[in-house]
Structures are given as C-alpha cells and as structure tokens.
Chains A and B, each alone.
Chain A
Amino acid sequence: DAKTTQPPSMDCAEGRAANLPCNHSTISGNEYVYWYRQIHSQGPQYIIHGLKNNETNEMASLIITEDRKSSTLILPHATLRDTAVYYCIVRISGNTPLVFGKGTRLSVIA
C-alpha cells in the first residue's frame, strides 16, 4: 500500500505556481520522498526526490517539512503541458520498486 496521502485533484491557472501537497506521516528515517508525474497516455516521468533538505531542479522544487511528515512539490510557472497526475512516493533509496498511490490530478487552466 502507498504510504502517502494526496488530494485527488487540483486546479492551477497557467503561469501561476502549482503547489502540490503530500502527507507521509509514517515515513522512516531512511526513506526518501520521490515525485513522478504521468501525462495522459504516457509512462510516468521522474520529477525530483529528496531526503530532508529542500531540493530544486529544472522541473520543480521540493519542500520537505522539518519533521519530514509532509512535503510540497512546486511547479513555479505552470503551463498547460504540466496537466498530469502527480504521484508522491516514499521509498528507501536504492533499487526498489515504486509503490504508486492514486496521486493528484493537476489541471492547468488557461
């Protein structure tokens, strides 16, 4: 079973920041937070991951609370192409399978 809780859906205006929350209150000390997204009819795409520090890459930023029980994925300037289902996954770093929950369906609106 997935160890995360995400809202089923969110809307965001094009050009605005999209902030996607994730709760992972039972996360263990050696577990990372990973984010993937799945654009319609495509395979899931890796976005970003982190352990306890905030992380940023060319796609997004990941903010993890100090107690590590929740996190937020930030897409700084959402575009229509960011419309997708976003999955927050807790996972021990290493070559382990991904356990997907239901994710958040983000709709970016023009």
Chain B
Amino acid sequence: DAGVIQSPRHEVTEMGQEVTLRCKPISGHNSLFWYRQTMMRGLELLIYFNNNVPIDDSGMPEDRFSAKMPNASFSTLKIQPSEPRDSAVYFCASSKNPGAGYEQYFGPGTRLTVT
C-alpha cells in the first residue's frame, strides 16, 4: 500500500499566482480530508469529502480556496490568487467509512511558500 500520495511536496510561487495541490487517497478509502498547518494556528481542517461529495467546507478561508474530488482516487485544492499568508503545509488524509476505527491516514504534505 503506497499510502496517501500528495504532490508536489514543495511549491514556491509568487503572490497572485494560481496554485494547485493534489492528493491521491489510499485505495478503498472513501473519505478525504484537507488540513493546513501553520505555526500560528496549528493543524486545522479546511474541507472534507465523503464518497466524493463535499460535506463541510467551513474551514476554507475564503473564496480564493476551492477543492474538488472528481473521483474516488483524486482530489485537488486550488488557491487563486495566492497570497503570502497562504504559506503553510497542506496535508491530505483519507479514511474508510464505515471503518473499524475511522482512523485517518495522512500524506506527507505539501509545503507551500508564497512570496
């Protein structure tokens, strides 16, 4: 099992540019979560999907952020336009629903730097 795969691992972009982060969940998992981690705010949920349907996007900071899950094996998080305050590590996690413990498995993260 390859685990949750995220790409790119590192992204450096200039303010105003569009950024797209990608996630491939573990095969057979039907729930997907996007989290963001900063020194100031720690780890916080942005959005999550069940069976490709967005369930809660209340953590998405503003309209500049959007997320999609076109199929069970792929999700994107897009920031347009990007701003320096978006600099953070973005994690994707997946879980199986229903599952024995609903434990979430995290990817390695994408470190985004907006200059």
Contacts and interface: CB of A to CB of B under 8 A. Distances in A.
A49 B103 contact: yes
A95 B102 contact: yes
B103 A46 contact: yes
A21 interface: no
Contact of A44 (B43, B97, B99): B43
Interface residues of A, number: 18
A100 B43 contact: yes
Contacts of B31: 95
Interface of B: 4, 31, 33, 35, 42-45, 48, 50, 56, 91, 93, 95, 97-99, 101-109
B102 A93 contact: yes
B42 A97 contact: no
A42 interface: yes
Given A42-B108, A43-B109, A49-B103, A101 B93 contact: no
B108 A43 contact: yes
Interface string A29-57: 00000100000001111100100000000
